Amino acid sequence: MPIPEIDVETCAAWMAGPEADRPVLVDVRTPGEFALAALPGARLAPLHELEEHADWLTPLRGRRVVVYCHHGIRSLHGAAWLQQLGVEAVSLRGGIDAWSLRVDPSVPRY
């Protein structure tokens, strides 16, 4: 089954909506990448450590969850893993790089 993806404009609209409807943002990049640039309110759970973060990821069942990375490849894997936990996660197509290009140019590109 393909992993659902959303574009950065849809994610921005969700983030601008009512607080109760805003997505949980899960960043699956490395701590170094996260330090360079991150989306507001995102929580870091590096892809290679996702299993170690299951304690706070599993309770996200029933919430809107957007997984992102640099360009959208690692986030597909992260969203797939979360779906196996029963979390209805989507991947951010184009990642934080697309966010910087199309939504918020103040987010550094690297």
Spatial separation of the C-alpha atoms in residues 87 and 71, rounded to whole Å? 22
Give 3-state DSSP helix, strand, coil % of the chain, rounded to 5. Answer: 45, 15, 40
State the pLDDT at residue 40. 94
Average pLDDT by stretches of 10, the chain with 110 residues: 94 95 97 97 97 95 97 98 96 98 97
Spatial separation of the C-alpha atoms in residues 77 and 81, rounded to whole Å? 6
State the pLDDT at residue 71. 98
Measure CA of the first residue to CA of the last residue in the chain; give whole Å: 32
Other C-beta atoms within 10 Å of 99: how many?
22
Give the 3-state secondary structure of residue 103: coil
pTM attached to this predicted model: 0.96
Query: Annotated catalytic sites, by residue?
Result: 69
State the pLDDT at residue 1. 72
